[in-house]
Amino acid sequence: MSLFNKHEQTIRKAIEALHTRTFFAAFPEHPSPAVYGETADADGQARFKAQLGKKFEELLQENPASWIGEEESPYLQEKLDITYPSFPVETLIDRARKAYHVWRKVSPEQRAGILAESLDRMKSRFFEIAYATMHTTGQGFMMAFQASGPHAADRALEAIAAGYEELTRFPQKAFWDKPMGKFNIQLNKEWRAVPKGVSLVIGCSTFPTWNTVPGLYASLVTGNPVIVKPHPGAVLPIAIVVAEIQKVLKEQNLDPHICQLAPDTSDKLITKELAEHPDVKLIDFTGNSVFGNYLESLPGKTTFTEKTGVNCVLLHSVQDADKVAANLAFSVSLYSGQMCTAPQNFFIPEKGIQTAQGEISFEEFAQKFIDNLNSLIDNPKAGPFVLGTIQNKRTYDRIAEAEKLPGKVWLKSRTIAHPQFSKARTATPVVVEVNADKTDIFSKELFGPIALLIKVKDIEHALHLAGELARKHGAISCGAYTTDKGVREKIADEMALAGAPVSFNLVGGIYMNQNAGFSDFHVTGGNPAGNASFTNPEFVVKRFTWVGHREPAVA
């Protein structure tokens, strides 16, 4: 049985889900022993610990120039001492160039089957990947398991499905017969989907697999060899994924250099050298806007970027203010605000918010928000695990600077003890009230657990500010609360024009931070927060071109 036949049902279901946009998940998101095995957790943790202090030797990339690595655990604040094979840029490019002419000849069915098989192999290592993600990004275990394991695999499958569908949309061959009166013109025609060339996928430090695999699998399924350049601080999670891809490629008698890992160190980065290389035709990037804008400016490249944005919450009227405050407190606290979808600016009318129990003032809602934050933070069974740790030490500095912003500090940040890791680098959210005329303060992303409460005249004022911020500075998510259908439509329309998706009236266990594979488009490409969206058709069709040939049909 071919690998495509083995996984065809899953791929077909994924394609159907892309069209219906209803719930679909090929990989269960809960680390249940019934699903993954009774010893899967312990085995994954043991495998992660066994890798510490050693060379990562699973990659099928021969003759490294050196072994490098600088990852540090935010939980232990100690080096992992894992090293990875390092190669000169020219070696990486040369191997990718040669692999291109092998991989482009492989049929879409074969490529889809190989890639789906790699996800099946990845599934058996979800727990190991989770611990690797925990100790490189600082995420809590549950988020690390879900985001880097099942959710990432679903996003990868989504890219496979979208790419396979686009590659098979048109026939490979056709007989063209045009009546001309006394005779017909008859041509044999054929079409080839030609991959663009070498693809560079640049990873980030906070979501090393979830943000990397969409571009990685989209390029691979469309026939492009890929060089994965991970963030120096978070290599292991995506190294495991690349290793599994390489193993399947080798088993299918294909060049494992079709997919390569290209680690570097913070004092000797190779990203620009790779990006500017003339043989690199495709670039996927997640990170800050400055570097993203630079990549978008490079001539001769097709880029797919997710950059920084300013995410807002608009509060107009609610059914239950306590449930809303609890939901927003969780959204701000989740992974200590180190998510590109985390809310930052909270626009609250100066006259207060209408509720089913009557009007509450700006100050009353602010206090409810603070009370819910403290309740979550001080819950020993929830707070440390929801907050996780601070991945980057620079984020610590940003939190301290936020407390010095002009305005009332409603809540100062503090460290909390983690029950399992005494040296964990933690920081709780800081909440500051900022005047609505201080746009210079809230018109930029303050990455981390930082929430700004902004007193506005009314919902029209709030919507004007949120729309302008999205158009000028980008927004990846937006939250809104209103019980008025007219106001809801006004918000939906205005923010749609600004390219910002809105989550309306969320309470309970769903948050504006979260995006679901096969249903939610992550980033729209419609504002400065990014020029691409995974996974819409454009995310895959720009990675190849259709080229047609024709010749007279022979009778």
pLDDT for 382 equals 94
Amino acid identity, position 321: A
Do 122 and 36 form a contact (C-beta atoms < 8 A)? no
Question: What residues have CB less than 8 Å from 471, skipping those under 6 apart?
Answer: 498, 499, 527, 528
Q: Are residues 352 and 458 in the same domain?
A: yes
Q: Are residues 297 and 329 in the same domain?
A: no
Look at residue 117 and tell me if it is in a domain.
Answer: yes
Q: Are residues 485 and 537 in the same domain?
A: no
Amino acid identity, position 552: P
0.75 cut: is pTM over it? yes
Q: Are residues 299 and 419 in the same domain?
A: no
HEC profile of 452-505:
EEEEECCHHHHHHHHHHHHHHHCCCCEEEECCCHHHHHHHHHHHHHCCCCEEEC
pLDDT for 502 equals 97
Q: Are residues 384 and 284 in the same domain?
A: no
Do 307 and 293 form a contact (C-beta atoms < 8 A)? yes
Point out the least confidently predicted range of 130-144, 384-398, 531-545. Answer: 384-398
Q: Are residues 375 and 462 in the same domain?
A: yes
pLDDT-derived band at 1 (thresholds 50, 70, 90) equals confident
Q: Are residues 293 and 392 in the same domain?
A: no
Look at residue 412 and tell me if it is in a domain.
Answer: yes
pLDDT-derived band at 425 (thresholds 50, 70, 90) equals very high
Look at residue 49 and tell me if it is in a domain.
Answer: yes
Q: Phi and psi dihedrals of 274, rounded to 5?
A: -70, -50
Look at residue 81 and tell me if it is in a domain.
Answer: yes
Do 499 and 493 form a contact (C-beta atoms < 8 A)? no
pLDDT for residue 555 is more than 80: no
Torsion, CA 183, CA 185, CA 188, CA 194, rounded to 10: -170
Q: What is the CATH number of the domain that holds 357?
A: 3.40.309.10
Look at residue 206 and tell me if it is in a domain.
Answer: yes
Q: What is the CATH number of the domain that holds 183?
A: 3.40.605.10
Number of domains within the chain: 2
Closest CA to 392 of 147, 143, 136: 136
Q: Are residues 286 and 395 in the same domain?
A: no
For the stretch 349-384, pLDDT in tens is 999 999 988 999 999 999 999 999 999 999 999 999
- H/E element holding 496? helix 485-497
Q: Are residues 360 and 479 in the same domain?
A: yes
The distance from CA 481 to its chain's CA centroid, rounded to whole angstroms, is 26
CA 150 to CA 337: how far, in whole Å?
Answer: 21
* 3-state SS, residue 268: strand
- Residue ending a domain, among 504, 521, 541, is 504
pLDDT-derived band at 393 (thresholds 50, 70, 90) equals confident
Look at residue 525 and tell me if it is in a domain.
Answer: no
Q: Are residues 94 and 228 in the same domain?
A: yes
* 3-state SS, residue 480: strand
pLDDT for 396 equals 86
Range of the domain at 383: 312-504
pLDDT for 357 equals 87
Do 203 and 230 form a contact (C-beta atoms < 8 A)? yes
Cα→Cα distances 431→407, 411, 467, Å: 10, 5, 22
What's the number of CA atoms in the CB half-sphere (13 Å) around residue 179? 1
Angle between helices 126-137 and 108-123 (to 10 degrees): 80
Q: Are residues 109 and 196 in the same domain?
A: yes
pLDDT-derived band at 327 (thresholds 50, 70, 90) equals very high
Look at residue 490 and tell me if it is in a domain.
Answer: yes
For the stretch 471-511, pLDDT in tens is 999 999 999 999 999 999 999 999 999 999 999 999 999 99
pLDDT-derived band at 290 (thresholds 50, 70, 90) equals very high
Residue 535 preceded by cis peptide, ω within 30: yes
Look at residue 521 and tell me if it is in a domain.
Answer: no
Q: Phi and psi dihedrals of 450, rounded to 5?
A: -125, 120
* 3-state SS, residue 74: coil
Q: Are residues 78 and 60 in the same domain?
A: yes
